Amino acid sequence: MTDPHVPQPDLPPLPLVFTRDVRAALDAGRAVVALESTIITHGMPYPQNLQMARDVEAAVRDAGAVPATIAVIDGQIRIGLDDAALDDLAGRPGDDVMKLSRADLAVCIATGGTGATTVAATMICAARAGIRVFATGGIGGVHRGVEQTMDVSADLYELAQTAVTVVSAGAKAILDLPRTLELLETLGVPVIAVGQDDLPAFWSRESGLPAPLRLDDPAQIAAAARMRRALGLPGGQLVVNPIPAEAEIPRDQIMPLVDQALAEAAAQGIAAKAVTPFLLDRIFALTAGRSLDANIALVLSNARLAARIAAAGA
Ligand code: PSU
Ligand code: MN
């Protein structure tokens, strides 16, 4: 397979750098699953983040696909990270590595910078690399208090315009879930629950809101992605896969802690890109680490499902 990005004579070539196994898998038309790097640098503490990154790659391999963790390193878009690169990224404190979304990606690359890719930026890089399936933990969404802050994650708008199937465990209860669903509908993004009718809410299997769509078979999810392309519709699909039951933190337990973390964020004036990492870190402390165990379990589960969707030819 050739790179879908067509070089243009008056523009710089895209500095896409593939690991050998990812390049070989793409060339042979084998299943590849993209993985993000912001969850490593800004979503989890060291060293659990490094172990998680390795375990997720292994889960993708065990399920029969090739993992491609994506990040920008010294101005190169790395599609697949070797051990040294993963070690280096995981070991750096969040502040030292940019958190890259659609808005910052080109600046970081053009200036030779290093940054971890969010869901939005990972989708862009995956699409340019010819990868159509991506596994993550939770996506960004409409934040509570959006009336005051206008804080809506770029992840939602990316899903509307970049043709990648994103496998998540839903959106975190730190967000305004009804408004997140409304905006996804407006933007034309299919939100597809797997194995249940209820929208999963990241740490909890249920949100109390019905998911707009449900498909239980990975082959159906892959077929829907192909039909979107056949229809000429831009944009991707959001698959919402409930956290495994044994790892779940039920809603009545997590919600008071979420409310407390949100109150602390407001009191400390946390804003913009810092909001999501701050809340994750506080909830980690307030649950004595249980939120991290849940987060790792759901990412592993999403990686396995993503591998099956990729193998079915999304
Ligand atoms: N959800 C998680 N862990 C994370 C993130 C989301 O469970 O680390 C990251 C993802 O990279 C997502 C980003 O794209 O947070 C959203 O950030 P923001 O809300 O600033 O758009
Ligand atoms: Mn935001």
Tens of pLDDT, residues 110-148:
999 999 999 999 999 999 999 999 999 999 999 999 999
Contact at 8 Å (CB) between 274 and 187? no
Q: Tell whether 2 is covered by a domain.
A: no
Is the pLDDT at 7 greater than 90? The verdict is: no
Q: Tell whether 88 is covered by a domain.
A: yes
Is the pLDDT at 210 greater than 80? The verdict is: yes
Is the pLDDT at 91 greater than 60? The verdict is: yes
Q: What is the distance between the alpha carbons of residues 118 and 136, in angstroms, rounded to a whole number? A: 9
pLDDT at 5 (0 to 100): 64
Is the pLDDT at 269 greater than 90? The verdict is: yes
Pocket flag, ligand 1, residue 39 (CB < 6 Å): yes
pLDDT at 2 (0 to 100): 39
Mean per-residue pLDDT, 49-77 = 98
pLDDT at 172 (0 to 100): 85
Closest atom of ligand 1 to 202 CA is 7
pLDDT at 314 (0 to 100): 96
pLDDT at 257 (0 to 100): 95
Pocket flag, ligand 1, residue 140 (CB < 6 Å): yes
More confident residue, 62 or 8: 62
Q: What is the distance between the alpha carbons of residues 159 and 193, in angstroms, rounded to a whole number? A: 16
Pocket flag, ligand 1, residue 72 (CB < 6 Å): no
Q: Tell whether 218 is covered by a domain.
A: yes
Q: How confident is the model at residue 8 (pLDDT cuts 50, 70, 90)?
A: confident
Q: Tell whether 100 is covered by a domain.
A: yes
Q: What is the distance between the alpha carbons of residues 115 and 136, in angstroms, rounded to a whole number? A: 17
Structure tokens at 24: 């070989």
| Separation of CA 13 and ligand 1 centre (Å) | 29
| Separation of CA 291 and ligand 1 centre (Å) | 15
Among residues 99, 158, 172, 248, the one annotated as catalytic is 172
Q: Please name which ligand lies nearest the alpha carbon of 279.
A: 1
Q: Tell whether 4 is covered by a domain.
A: no
In terms of residue numbers, what domain contains 267? 16-311
Cβ < 5 A residues, ion ligand 2: 151
Q: Tell whether 197 is covered by a domain.
A: yes
Give percent of the chain with pLDDT exceeding 70: 97
Mean pLDDT of the chain: 95
Mean per-residue pLDDT, 164-187 = 96
Pocket flag, ligand 1, residue 85 (CB < 6 Å): no
Mean per-residue pLDDT, 81-98 = 90
Q: Using CA of residue 262, residue 264, residue 267, residue 269, what is the dihedral sign?
A: negative
pLDDT at 174 (0 to 100): 87
This prediction has a pTM of: 0.96
Pocket flag, ligand 1, residue 274 (CB < 6 Å): no
| Separation of CA 119 and ligand 1 centre (Å) | 7
Count of domains observed in the chain: 1
Is the pLDDT at 302 greater than 60? The verdict is: yes
Is the pLDDT at 225 greater than 90? The verdict is: yes
Q: How confident is the model at residue 214 (pLDDT cuts 50, 70, 90)?
A: very high
Mean per-residue pLDDT, 253-276 = 93
| Separation of CA 311 and ligand 1 centre (Å) | 26
Q: Please name which ligand lies nearest the alpha carbon of 155.
A: 1
Q: Tell whether 9 is covered by a domain.
A: no
Is-catalytic flag, 172? Answer: yes
Burial bucket for residue 252 (CB in 10 Å: 0-12, 13-18, 19+)? exposed
pLDDT at 1 (0 to 100): 39
| Separation of CA 275 and ligand 2 centre (Å) | 7
pLDDT at 4 (0 to 100): 56
Is-catalytic flag, 273? Answer: no
Is the pLDDT at 3 greater than 70? The verdict is: no
pLDDT at 235 (0 to 100): 97
Domain containing residue 171: CATH number: 3.40.1790.10
Distances (CA, A) of 230 to 214, 224, 226: 21, 10, 6
Q: Tell whether 84 is covered by a domain.
A: yes
